[in-house]
């Protein structure tokens, strides 16, 4: 303190100035200055809590672990609540990105399979299997997102802090919107699935029944009338000479239970046929001799009236379609008739021609017998010597081979061993083995067709014969697969008293 008059420094406690004697004026002490509190900025911990809201202690603990290099733990709320939890925490976009792949794949596969199941069932089944795989993929993706959720949410909170956006994440409004979006999406998807599967059903029905009214009903009448006025296409006449040769009724896909073979001869100027049928290993034979057939304008059909060797009469109709022959015969008035309706026929030089010729040969003894009977009537004295000296006609062993191969084919397809039993020696090893084979293959759903069969060698010695074959068999398995199997067997046969040969053993070559 200094004197106000002379400026001399006054010691503390002096009342008068020691220099000029002036009285010292005492100053009242200034009141202490009070500090005004200043609001401190929020720490990062506080900002995180403000953004996180509820359950902040749990997430801060996880954030510390993540910052320390930890892997983080699975967030069970994210796993069980999926989109709703992600929407509540504000990371629903991240959830959609993680789940987009399996969701899109599932939806596409289900919808496409619905459209095609009626017409392409196998492809639809494959697509449904892929949809099942997409569901598994979605479950795995949901688990992985739940495992990574705490890290995803940590990055989300840090991004908001950097943007100085401290708005709390927790939002019931977003949850409500996500529930509404799920309901709408489920309704749209359900309607699309029902529509696609209904369309697939209608497409399947249209293909099954060949119904064209579904689109012809929508055409304007003018268009339909124009369609009717289109000129008819005229096909070139069939060259019936191409069909000349030996044929047999296809017993693989036929209701006919016997062998029926026929020969087509001639051309468009003169066309005809002969036919033979045999029952019970040629015990009964029916013959149609030299029947003349009349062709229609485009040579696609030939017809004629006949009378066979057993007193049957009727009409024969032969249809020619793209290289195939279909045979229809009506029969009345006798027994062992060849009646059939549009049976598919097979052209086979190794089967049809051979059996056809055998059937023709079998008719000769009958003719000879009739001649002998007439002779006996004219000359009774010679009756007994002729009957005693009548020889037994010995068949060709290869005939038994052909009958066996085709008969076994029919027996396997129908599950009826009797179709082939007549070619096998009863009680022999071949008889027992083939009986078991027919039962086994029929139960397995296997179908066979004879593609070709021929004799590679034949040897006869007294009452025994051995015939070696070369065969090609087409096999269709229960699952629809197909395979052609070449095979060769040595068939050992014994001569019977009636001149026929029966197989007793067979060995694979």
pLDDT of residue 252: 60
- Mean pLDDT is highest, among 62-71, 205-214, 450-459, for 450-459
Band (pLDDT 50/70/90 cuts) for residue 282 is low
Instruction: Please tell me the predicted confidence (pLDDT) of residue 330.
Output: 93
Please tell me which residue, 360 or 289, carries the higher pLDDT value. 289
Q: Say if residue 482's pLDDT is above 90.
A: yes
| In the predicted structure, residue 216 carries a pLDDT above the cut 60 | no
Give pLDDT, residue 215: 46
pLDDT, tens digit, 9 for 90 and up, residues 32-51: 555 544 434 446 778 888 88
Give the pLDDT score at 210.
Answer: 58
Angstrom distance (rounded) from CA 135 to CA 109:
11
455-473 pLDDT tens trace: 999 999 989 999 999 999 9
Q: 31 pLDDT band (50/70/90 cuts)?
A: low
Q: Record the tokens describing residue 315, joined without a space.
A: 């009409």
Pair 224, 140: CB distance under 8 Å: no
- Of 158-162, 224-228, 263-267, 323-327, where does mean pLDDT reach its minimum? 224-228
CA–CA gap between residue 305 and residue 168 (Å, rounded): 100
Residues 378-395: tens digit of each pLDDT? 444 444 444 444 567 888
| Longest Cα–Cα distance in the chain | 205
Residue in the structure block whose two tokens are 């106000």? 4
Pairing of strands 464-476, 489-495: antiparallel
Under the banding of pLDDT at 50, 70 and 90, the label for residue 29 is low
- 353 pLDDT more than 60: no
The answer to whether the pTM exceeds 0.85 is no
Chain segment 178-196, per-residue pLDDT in tens: 899 999 999 999 998 888 8
How far is C-alpha 509 from the geometric centre of its chain's CA atoms?
A: 37
C-beta of residue 304 within 8 angstroms of C-beta of residue 314: no
Nearest to 435 by CA among 419, 451, 448: 419
Burial of 475 (0-12, 13-18, 19+ CB in 10 A): middle
The Cα 354–Cα 185 span in angstroms is 71
- Which has more confidence, 258 or 381? 258
Structure confidence at residue 470 (pLDDT): 94
pLDDT of residue 206 exceeding 80, the answer is no
Q: Can you read off the two tokens belonging to residue 339?
A: 């009646």
């Amino acid at each position: 303190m200094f004197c106000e008059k002379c400026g001399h420094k006054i010691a503390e406690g002096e009342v008068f100035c020691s220099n000029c004697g002036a009285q010292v004026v005492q100053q009242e002490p200034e009141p202490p200055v009070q500090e005004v509190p200043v609001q401190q900025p929020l720490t990062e911990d506080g900002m995180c809590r403000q953004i996180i809201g509820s359950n902040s202690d749990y997430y801060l603990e996880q954030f510390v672990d993540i910052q320390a290099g930890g892997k983080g733990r699975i967030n069970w709320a994210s796993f069980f609540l999926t989109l709703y939890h992600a929407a509540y925490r504000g990371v629903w976009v991240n959830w959609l990105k993680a789940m987009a792949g399996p969701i899109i794949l599932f939806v596409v596969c289900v919808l496409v399979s619905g459209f095609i199941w009626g017409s392409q069932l196998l492809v639809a089944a494959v697509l449904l299997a892929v949809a099942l795989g997409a569901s598994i993929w979605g479950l795995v993706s949901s688990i992985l997102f739940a495992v990574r959720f705490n890290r995803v949410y940590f990055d989300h909170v840090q991004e908001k802090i950097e943007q100085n956006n401290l708005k709390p994440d927790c939002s019931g409004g977003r949850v409500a919107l996500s529930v509404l979006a799920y309901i709408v999406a489920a309704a749209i998807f359900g309607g699309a699935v029902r529509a696609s599967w209904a369309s697939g059903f209608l497409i399947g029905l249209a293909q099954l029944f060949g119904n064209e009214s579904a689109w012809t009903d929508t055409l304007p009448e003018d268009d339909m009338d124009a369609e009717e006025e289109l000129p008819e296409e005229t096909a070139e006449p069939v060259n019936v000479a191409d069909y000349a040769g030996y044929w047999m009724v296809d017993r693989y896909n036929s209701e006919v239970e016997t062998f029926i073979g026929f020969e087509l001869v001639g051309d468009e100027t003169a066309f005809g046929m002969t036919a033979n049928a045999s029952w019970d290993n040629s015990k009964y034979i029916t013959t149609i001799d030299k029947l003349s057939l009349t062709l229609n304008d485009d040579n696609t059909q030939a017809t004629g009236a006949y009378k066979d060797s057993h007193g049957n009469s009727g009409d024969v109709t032969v249809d020619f379609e793209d290289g195939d022959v279909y045979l229809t015969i009506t029969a009345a008035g006798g027994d062992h008739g060849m009646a059939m309706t549009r049976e598919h026929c097979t052209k086979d030089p190794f089967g049809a021609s051979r059996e056809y010729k055998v059937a023709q040969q079998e008719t000769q003894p009958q003719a000879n017998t009739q001649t002998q009977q007439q002779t006996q009537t004219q000359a009774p004295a010679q009756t007994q010597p002729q009957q005693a000296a009548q020889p037994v006609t010995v068949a060709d062993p290869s005939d038994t081979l052909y009958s066996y191969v085709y008969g076994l084919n029919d027996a396997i397809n129908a599950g009826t061993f009797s179709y082939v039993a007549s070619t096998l020696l009863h009680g022999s090893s071949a008889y027992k083995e083939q009986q078991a084979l027919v039962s086994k293959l029929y139960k397995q759903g296997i179908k066979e067709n004879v593609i070709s069969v021929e004799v590679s060698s034949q040897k006869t010695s007294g009452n025994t014969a051995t015939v070696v074959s070369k065969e090609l068999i087409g096999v269709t398995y229960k699952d629809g697969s197909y395979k052609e199997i070449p095979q060769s067997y040595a068939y050992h046969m014994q001569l019977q008293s009636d001149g026929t040969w029966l197989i007793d053993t067979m060995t694979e070559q």
